[in-house]
Chains A and B, each alone.
Chain A
């Protein structure tokens, strides 16, 4: 037992250090997504590279190869990776923007649904056509590769769109809405495919597949509906305890509970975690949970990607390298065609359709989670696992430049005046004389909202954008230089104005107080006077 734990701790240590180092290197030096660095770290230190070197004091390699097994990872280390994947999907659910999806559900559903269907078919068919051991579209391996072609990781798209201020463009909101549906269908698809995979290969038993699908949809719908109905009440109850830690801890506990329950009914754990996040996403504590869980996320999730990287068998990938490239290209084509075509039917021109297709290209964690589940269940072997990792790599490298190029040029909408962004919102501006005055007022405004019992969270650590929430009320505060603007629904405008007025009143008092204070230069002088006081 002690030896097992020693090995585990050393494995976690090496993977953490490698993942953090390589993640940093890829992000800052190569300007590539962090996740690619974390994957590469796992490949380098894993059992197919440095990890197989014998370590004398351990009397074994740090990451040994287990002959006869498809996964060369100890159950203990895999458990850590599973926990990380639960955290990852819980936070993905929490970040889901349900209102945006509902507002643009028409075009979003069409784009999302068609994207999933076309990508699935493309992925599935190319596997049947090119992999000799796969002969039917219902072969679990074909179903798995089809499923992992559907996953979209909209995080990269969202970051690029927000940097270019195109987030609220018709294409931007369509991509965001479509990505929600894409996630939801993708996750249910995983549930079905995992369950089919567990039924084992052999003949197609439509009856059993029907039961599995009904169970997956049933669990999904019941858990989501119950979660969305119950979460606000639960949060209200927990808020009476006046401890955000208890709220966050309980939410995480529930995510684990639902993950376990999902597994016991034969579905994947991540579904339970995602549903819990989704249910909590429209409560006012969602950002607070996300922020507090972020620490755990930041340290554990790179470990998950590194463990996935560890499983890449270079020899196996070399055998299927050409297929991997073809599969990656087909997966990109599936998204471009599947998401772009329906956009044409919803008033977008070809440029707009291309933008939407490109926005849905990035792949991420879900691709790997699906692949990991497939590998651990023995549905796919190391070759096809390698293909999954290649798809993720190619997609992640191609998507950002493709998206940036697609967003050059004019409107992507046939009728430029008919903006899809019909969101009703109102903006209140405050133009301060200097940036430091704006910094000061911003801090005061945030404090004022907190004293009104709002939850205030910084959206991005690198820029002063805050989300201010209480029940259904949501306000976004953005500071650009000396300008502060607050964007919210029209019904909250009075509140925003009154809070700003009260802060201006306080500021006025502060200025008057400072004037009575005397000459700041004189005060500074008297403070400096004693700085190098004579000790002698």
Chain B
């Protein structure tokens, strides 16, 4: 799938300031809402929080992929962020999470939704890429580090 089509440099948050899992999710959903990508921000927030409650989306190596499904979006909506301070997502290795990838996908429409997350996960498997992403100076640098 074409990651650049789903994720642009404008979808990058250089610094997510919240310090709790819920705070991070709220902040990222608010960012998406601010970009006019959500019809119903509250429903989107609810879907991501509910999914997080069922099982942590921390995948280890300092990465978390909070995501949700709701009927209030028509296509995959996504953003990525970075937390300098790190947040405890209760991931499998207990590492604090610095790299955040959020997706909200339509509940009743087929499409490559999990494939988007898996593609990003495949890229972030590389340690050098993760380090470059965290060390980047700005959103453009983070975007380059992630997708190049």
A interface list, Cβ under 8 A from B: 448, 450-453, 491-492, 494-495, 497-499, 501-502, 504-505, 508-509
Contacts and interface: CB of A to CB of B under 8 A. Distances in A.
A494 B55 contact: no
Contacts of B111: 451-453
Interface of B: 51, 54-55, 110-115, 117-119, 121-122, 125
A510 to B, nearest CB: 11
Contacts, number: 38
A502 B114 contact: yes
A374 B110 CA distance: 51
A480 B55 CA distance: 27
Closest 6 pairs (CB-CB, A-B): A495-B118, A494-B118, A494-B121, A451-B110, A505-B54, A494-B122
Tell me what chain A mostly uses at the interface: helix, strand, loop, or mixed: helix
12 contacts: A448-B114, A451-B110, A452-B110, A452-B115, A492-B118, A494-B125, A495-B115, A501-B55, A504-B55, A505-B51, A505-B55, A508-B55
A508 B53 CA distance: 11
B114 A495 contact: yes
Given A505-B51, A505-B55, A508-B54, A498 B122 contact: no
A453 B111 CA distance: 6
B46 to A, nearest CB: 15
A494 B65 CA distance: 13
Contacts of A491: 122
Contacts of A499: 114
A505 B122 CA distance: 21
Contacts of B110: 450-453
Contacts of A453: 110-112
Nearest to A450: B110
A61 B111 CA distance: 59
B54 A509 contact: yes
Given A452-B112, A505-B55, 18 more contacts: A448-B114, A451-B111, A452-B113, A452-B115, A453-B110, A453-B111, A494-B118, A494-B119, A495-B114, A495-B115, A495-B118, A497-B118, A498-B114, A498-B118, A501-B55, A504-B55, A508-B54, A508-B55
Q: Which of B51, B115, B119 counts the most chain A CB atoms within 10 A?
A: B115
Contacts of B121: 494, 498
Tell me what chain B mostly uses at the interface: helix, strand, loop, or mixed: helix
B121 to A, nearest CB: 4
A151 B54 CA distance: 57
Contacts of B125: 494
Contacts of B122: 491, 494
Nearest to B123: A494
B1 to A, nearest CB: 9
A448 B118 CA distance: 14
A491 B119 CA distance: 9
Nearest to B54: A505
A455 to B, nearest CB: 12
A381 B56 CA distance: 74
Nearest to B109: A451
Nearest to A502: B114
A418 to B, nearest CB: 30
A495 B117 CA distance: 8
A453 B116 CA distance: 13
B95 to A, nearest CB: 18
B116 to A, nearest CB: 10
Contacts of B115: 452, 495
B75 to A, nearest CB: 13
A491 B115 CA distance: 12
B117 A498 contact: yes
Nearest to B67: A502
Contacts of A497: 118
Contacts of B113: 452
Contacts of B114: 448, 452, 495, 498-499, 502
B120 to A, nearest CB: 9
A419 B55 CA distance: 41
A244 to B, nearest CB: 13
A499 B114 CA distance: 7
Contacts of B117: 498
Contacts of B112: 452-453
A275 B12 CA distance: 48
A502 B118 CA distance: 12
Contacts of A452: 110-115
Contacts of A508: 54-55
B148 to A, nearest CB: 17
Q: Which of A450, A451, A504, A505 counts the most chain B CB atoms within 10 A?
A: A451
Nearest to B117: A498
A450 B51 CA distance: 21
A497 B122 CA distance: 11
Nearest to B107: A451
Nearest to A490: B122
B24 to A, nearest CB: 19
B92 to A, nearest CB: 11
A491 B126 CA distance: 13
Nearest to B120: A494
A499 B118 CA distance: 9
Nearest to A496: B118
Nearest to A501: B55
Nearest to A509: B54
Nearest to A504: B55
A450 B111 CA distance: 9
B106 to A, nearest CB: 10
Contacts of A498: 114, 117-118, 121
